[in-house]
């Protein structure tokens, strides 16, 4: 019988200001086998050592900042709002990284109401996000005059960050729809910083608007707008794959990621697939369990912190 593939796990926070975290304190560190109570170091991490970080910190964990912020709301389309947040400079600087997101909630709501929202654009201390009103938590975010609390920065809004960071001087393709476009903006920024040409195919999806088209064009991305990724976007991708891109990014629901993966397989494309992260998230710290899945060997994987790759792939 075929064995289920095991996963290689990396922690998005390893070596950052937020390492060690509560998982290191509780013996569940994603990166470090020693902190998980094993006898040998088994990590292939070449950055700052999580074990030494934890020893030096003597149990002190640097929590993410929470701040009440000023917000300006603009309705872009029915149920679609742009929120411009004024953040502290230190937090804003961290949000230009691909996959960066914030947790937002209305001040009057309890912590269970945190909403993960991807960063679209950072200009100095002004940070722009776009929210589609989907249910109770997002409805509170767009209520006129309601005060918002922000927690962050978080970095794991994209699976495949290491791939994005190593791709240089090639072609990167972006296929994104709905609010998946928000993640596409920071992915395009990273690819352009690596000297890559970037081409994006965007569809409005249920957001009803290609709200990142102008921003991407201004960054230097060649943008193709279609009405549906399923009907037209995947055919466009098939054509573009003939130019042998270095990487393909899919920004949208899991059904889109599966569609893009299928096209890559059918075309025998060598380009790795990087995707937006769609887990349900509430704490962003690996603690609350909302986003947790388990590997074949029953290892706990909080998707808010773990970058993973199937060893069988």
Ligand X SMILES: Cc1cc2nc3c(=O)[nH]c(=O)nc-3n(C[C@H](O)[C@H](O)[C@H](O)COP(=O)(O)OP(=O)(O)OC[C@H]3O[C@@H](n4cnc5c(N)ncnc54)[C@H](O)[C@@H]3O)c2cc1C
Residue closer to ligand X by CB (options 97, 118) is 118
Site for ligand X in 29-58 (CB under 6 A): none
Binding site for ligand FES (CB under 6 A): 281-284, 286-292, 302, 304
Three-state secondary structure of 53-86: HHHHHCCCCCCCEEEEEEEEEEEEECCEEEEEEE
Q: Is 164 in the site for ligand X (CB under 6 A)?
A: no
Distance CA 115, CA 43 (A): 32
Residue closer to ligand FES by CB (options 93, 300) is 300
CA distances from 48 to 13, 93, 94, 257 (A): 11, 21, 18, 33
Which residue in this structure is represented by tokens 């096209």?
263
Q: How far is the CB of 16 from ligand FES (least distance, A)?
A: 16
Residue closer to ligand FES by CB (options 12, 167) is 12
Stretch that binds ligand X, among 61-69, 134-142, 197-205, 234-242 (CB under 6 A): 134-142
Q: How far is the CB of 279 from ligand FES (least distance, A)?
A: 7
Q: How far is the CB of 294 from ligand FES (least distance, A)?
A: 13
Stretch that binds ligand X, among 54-62, 124-132, 216-224, 256-264 (CB under 6 A): 124-132
Residue closer to ligand X by CB (options 111, 124) is 111
């Amino acid at each position: 019988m075929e064995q289920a593939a095991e996963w290689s796990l990396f922690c998005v926070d390893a070596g950052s200001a937020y390492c060690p975290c509560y998982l290191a304190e509780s013996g569940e560190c994603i990166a470090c086998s020693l902190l998980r109570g094993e006898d040998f170091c088994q990590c292939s991490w070449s950055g700052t050592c999580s074990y030494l970080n934890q020893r030096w910190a003597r149990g002190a964990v640097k929590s993410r900042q929470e701040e009440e912020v000023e917000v300006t709301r603009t309705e872009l389309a029915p149920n679609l709002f742009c929120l411009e947040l004024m953040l502290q400079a230190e937090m804003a600087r961290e949000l230009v990284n691909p996959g960066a997101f914030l947790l937002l909630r209305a001040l009057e709501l309890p912590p269970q109401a945190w909403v993960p929202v991807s960063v679209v654009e950072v200009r100095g201390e002004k940070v722009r996000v776009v929210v589609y009103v989907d249910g109770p938590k997002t409805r509170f975010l767009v209520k006129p005059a309601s005060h918002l609390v922000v927690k962050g920065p978080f970095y794991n809004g994209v699976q495949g960050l290491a791939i994005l960071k190593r791709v240089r001087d090639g072609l990167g393709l972006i296929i994104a729809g709905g609010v998946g476009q928000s993640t596409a903006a920071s992915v395009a920024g990273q690819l352009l910083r690596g000297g890559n040409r970037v081409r994006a195919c965007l569809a409005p999806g249920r957001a009803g608007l290609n709200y990142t088209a102008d921003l991407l064009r201004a960054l230097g991305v060649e943008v193709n707008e279609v009405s549906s990724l399923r009907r037209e976007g995947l055919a466009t991708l098939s054509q573009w794959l003939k130019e042998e891109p270095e990487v393909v990014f899919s920004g949208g629901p899991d059904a889109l990621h599966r569609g893009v993966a299928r096209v890559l397989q059918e075309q025998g494309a060598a380009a790795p697939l990087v995707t937006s992260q769609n887990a349900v998230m509430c704490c962003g710290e690996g603690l609350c369990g909302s986003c947790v899945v388990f590997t074949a060997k029953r290892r706990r994987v909080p998707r808010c912190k773990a970058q993973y790759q199937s060893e069988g792939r």
